[in-house]
């Protein structure tokens, strides 16, 4: 997911995140760059319609490496949430960071997340998505939801999400079942969004080829 108003300070976050992961691994920062920015797929890529499958065998180093790459990719974009299918990996894995511009990074990791309960109250929020770049529109969702997931260390967490956290986790969970936020808009708006992204991508690849 992306914020309607884009921020520019994200490169710092990549540096802080890299330094932290290297410290966790007992490595001096900057000696080893183990993370990689992956390509984010965009509409109308058919993979975005796929159902993602659960991670089996718990949160392994391989899954953590995927989440590290996803977080770095998300910070670089910049975005506030990213599902694995957006980098072409059909697994039920999500990363997120909802911290404000002047706050320290607060990465969150979700493996096999589930929504256990939602409240009846709904509210609109202007959403954006890294797989539908530069398109923003209001989506109405429940204001609170109870979720269960495994975190970076494989611990099971159960908690209520509200505010932007509730919006973002529902948006990202939708990706795991092949649903995009534009699927909630009218058919005309959705088609316009896909056409606009496709055109922008074509222009981008043309200018890269030139
Ligand atoms: Ni999205």
Question: Between helices 10-24 and 61-76, what is the axis angle to 10°?
Answer: 160
Rounded distance between C-alpha atoms, residue 134 and residue 200, angstroms: 10
Is a pLDDT exceeding 80 seen at residue 6? no
Are 110 and 158 contacting, i.e. CB atoms less than 8 angstroms apart?
A: no
Per the structure block, which two tokens stand in for 119? 């409240």
Domain boundary assignment for the chain:
13-209
pLDDT at 54: 98
Question: Quick one: which H or E segment has residue 44?
Answer: none
Q: Which class does domain 13-209 fall in?
A: alpha beta
Tell me the whole-structure pTM to 2 decimals: 0.91
d(CA 128, ligand 1 centre) in Å: 7
The DSSP secondary-structure symbol of 37 reads P
Which residues contact residue 95 at a Cβ distance below 8 angstroms, ignoring those fewer than 6 apart? 67, 70, 71, 74, 81, 82, 107, 108, 109, 110
Per the structure block, which two tokens stand in for 151? 């975190």
Q: pLDDT tens for residues 65-106?
A: 999 999 999 999 999 999 999 999 999 999 999 998 889 999
d(CA 95, ligand 1 centre) in Å: 11
Hey, which residues are catalytic here?
172
d(CA 132, ligand 1 centre) in Å: 7
d(CA 155, ligand 1 centre) in Å: 25
Q: For residue 17, what pLDDT band results from cuts at 50, 70 and 90?
A: confident
d(CA 129, ligand 1 centre) in Å: 4
């Amino acid at each position: 997911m992306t914020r309607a108003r884009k921020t520019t300070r994200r490169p710092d976050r990549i540096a802080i995140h890299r330094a932290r992961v290297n410290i966790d691994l007992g490595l001096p920062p900057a000696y080893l760059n183990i993370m990689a920015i992956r390509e984010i797929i965009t509409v109308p890529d058919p993979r975005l319609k796929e159902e993602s499958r659960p991670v089996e065998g718990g949160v392994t180093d391989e899954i953590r490496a995927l989440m590290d790459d996803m977080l770095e990719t998300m910070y670089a974009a910049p975005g506030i949430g990213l599902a694995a299918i957006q980098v072409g990996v059909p697994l039920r894995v999500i990363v997120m960071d909802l911290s404000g511009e002047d706050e320290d990074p607060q990465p969150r990791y979700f493996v096999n997340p589930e929504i256990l309960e939602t409240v009846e109250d709904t509210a609109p929020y202007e959403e954006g998505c890294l797989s539908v770049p530069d398109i923003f529109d209001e989506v109405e969702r429940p204001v609170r939801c109870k979720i269960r997931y495994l975190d970076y260390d494989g611990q099971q967490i159960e908690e209520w999400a509200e505010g932007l956290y509730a919006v973002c986790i529902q948006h990202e969970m939708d990706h795991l079942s092949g649903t995009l936020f534009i699927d909630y808009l009218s058919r005309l708006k959705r088609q316009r969004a896909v056409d606009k992204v496709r055109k922008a991508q074509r222009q981008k690849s043309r200018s890269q080829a030139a």
